[in-house]
Amino acid sequence: MLIQSTLCLAAQEIASIQTRYAKKGLTLSEAALCGSREFVEWQHYPNNDLVDSDSGYEFYYHSHSVDEMPEGEHGHFHLFKRTGTEFHHLIGIALNQTGLPVRLFTTNQWVTGETLVKAEIALAQLQAFDISIKGRMSPIARWISALTKLFYIDMEALILERDHMIDQMKSDLGSVELALNEKSHHVLTERKIDLMERLSQHLLLVN
């Protein structure tokens, strides 16, 4: 469980970064494109993903084809942790057309090609998520890091529920290998979020 001061600091960081982008006339989803003038379906932004070689954390932003995107969503971040030659998908964060996060989700193993790990491992990695870099994407990295703190409880619930979903699929299909490669199961768990409401809860506590 994250302490209240951590949540307040995360809320302040998120509000500050989004305000600075707004003053430049940018939404967070536009900033996530790393200066690209067009948003190409399936392409990763940044092109080779943003990787923190010190921590092993990484992320990228992209969208699917129009017919596969939920209504009103612009694209989404995928967050990962690399350990040696393996990588683990931690959480997905979807943004709407105005650049606000509106949905969190987990995916099945085949979607990203990850090595799926049990919830307790993924949660420990998620709780420590922090990317510190320089350059154009630094504010985006800080925003994502802060969001994993502010919505950790929601993400935790989704990852725990993901494991229950996989256990049920294993029982139905006969093996965990079949479950993790079941193409009819793309998103395993998801929930809508309201950033403005969450910010108001914690920013009001600062004073």
The residue that leads in pLDDT, 93 or 72, is: 93
Amino acid 5: pLDDT: 87
pLDDT tens per residue across span 29-64: 999 998 888 899 999 999 989 999 999 999 999 999
Contact 107, 188 (CB under 8 A): yes
Residue 85 pLDDT more than 80? Answer: yes
Measured distance CA(37)–CA(145) in Å, rounded: 25
Number of domains observed in the structure of the chain: 1
Give me the domain span that covers residue 117: 4-203
Pairing, β 86-96 against β 73-83: antiparallel
Three-state DSSP class for residue 76: strand
- Residue 1 pLDDT grade (very low, low, confident, very high; cuts 50, 70, 90): low
Question: What is the value of pTM for the model shown?
Answer: 0.94
**Which pLDDT band holds residue 204 (cuts at 50, 70, 90)?**
low
